[in-house]
């Protein structure tokens, strides 16, 4: 499973990029609004740090303006994926951009039918929002599983990018059903590797080693 960072915080991106664990970055207008940089400069900087797909979302709601914004964004770097909402204009924009060979991430997906349409429009990625479905009592993991089944039935190559991940259990669950990608807030990535028994075991190893007086020389 590929891991993308779900943030527009360049400091967090720089810190985690050194781990070699980060396969891409997703941003959205809410995350980008927290940055003090212009959106173009922000995406330019992120795309220079991480070599994988960098999702930059259009904010226009009609096709004509979406295309104009997408043209500005995809000129930034070859690894830009244009993020469009799952609306009729977003799907039309997806079709046009994917026909041009531009990566498209169709976002704000909350049903398998929506995901089917996105795949038919040539989406590179589909972003079902697991956490926001869980927030209203609908099992977001079931949606991921349904989309994967549908895509397998018809050989769609659209990658299922599990989004709106709230905790490490979501990561485990989407990995078990076979999501292609999970986009994680930096805090959750740190929770994945941090385990109290690992820390306790290491402390015990090093304490015994120190008592032995031995050295690796
Ligand atoms: O960035 C897309 C998605 O991951 C947003 O998640 O936490 O705002 O529901 P969230």
Per-residue pLDDT tens digits for 148-207: 999 999 999 999 999 999 999 999 999 999 999 999 999 999 999 999 999 999 999 999
Rounded CA gap, 55 and 25, in Å? 6
pTM, two decimal places: 0.95
What is the number of helices (H) and of strands (E) in the chain? 11, 8
Annotated catalytic residue: which of 37, 83, 96, 200? 83
Q: What pLDDT is recorded for position 197?
A: 97
Q: What pLDDT is recorded for position 199?
A: 97
Low-confidence ranges of the chain (pLDDT < 50): none
Question: Cβ distance 127 to 108 under 8 Å?
Answer: yes
Kindly state if the Cβ of 7 falls inside 6 Å of ligand 1. no
Q: If you measure from the C-alpha of residue 121 to the centroid of ligand 1, how many angstroms do you get, rounded to a whole number?
A: 22
Does the annotation count 68 as an active-site position? no
Kindly state if the Cβ of 168 falls inside 6 Å of ligand 1. no
Domains belonging to the chain, first-starting first, are 2-212 (3.20.20.70)
Q: If you measure from the C-alpha of residue 133 to the centroid of ligand 1, how many angstroms do you get, rounded to a whole number?
A: 11
Q: What pLDDT is recorded for position 125?
A: 99
Mean pLDDT score across all residues of the chain: 97
Number of the ligand 1 atom closest to the C-alpha atom of 183: 4
Q: What pLDDT is recorded for position 117?
A: 98
Q: What pLDDT is recorded for position 186?
A: 96
Report the C-alpha dihedral over residues 191, 112, 110, 117, rounded to 10 degrees.
120
The pair of structure tokens assigned to 105 is 């991430």
Helix (H) or strand (E) holding 106: strand 103-109
Q: If you measure from the C-alpha of residue 68 to the centroid of ligand 1, how many angstroms do you get, rounded to a whole number?
A: 25
Kindly state if the Cβ of 132 falls inside 6 Å of ligand 1. yes
Q: What pLDDT is recorded for position 129?
A: 98
Q: What pLDDT is recorded for position 81?
A: 98
**Residue carrying structure tokens 């099992």:** 139
């Amino acid at each position: 499973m590929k891991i993308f960072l779900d943030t527009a915080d360049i400091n967090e991106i720089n810190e985690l990029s050194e781990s070699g664990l980060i396969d891409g970055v997703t941003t959205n207008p809410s995350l980008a609004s927290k940055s003090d940089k212009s959106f173009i400069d922000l995406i330019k900087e992120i795309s220079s740090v991480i070599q994988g797909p960098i999702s930059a979302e259009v904010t226009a709601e009609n096709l004509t303006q979406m295309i104009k914004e997408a043209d500005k964004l995809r000129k930034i770097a070859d690894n830009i994926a244009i993020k469009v909402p799952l609306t009729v204009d977003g799907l039309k924009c997806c079709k046009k951009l994917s026909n041009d060979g531009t990566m498209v991430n169709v976002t704000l997906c909350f049903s398998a039918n929506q995901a089917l349409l996105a795949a038919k429009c040539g989406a590179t990625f589909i972003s079902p929002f697991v956490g926001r479905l869980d927030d209203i009592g609908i099992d977001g993991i079931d949606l991921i599983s349904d989309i994967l089944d549908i895509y397998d039935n018809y050989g769609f190559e659209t990658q299922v990018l599990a989004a709106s991940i709230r905790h490490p259990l979501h990561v485990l669950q989407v990995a078990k059903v076979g999501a292609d990608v999970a986009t994680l807030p930096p805090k959750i990535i740190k929770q994945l590797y941090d385990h109290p028994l690992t820390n306790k075991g290491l402390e015990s190893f090093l304490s015994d080693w120190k008592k032995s007086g031995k050295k690796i020389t």
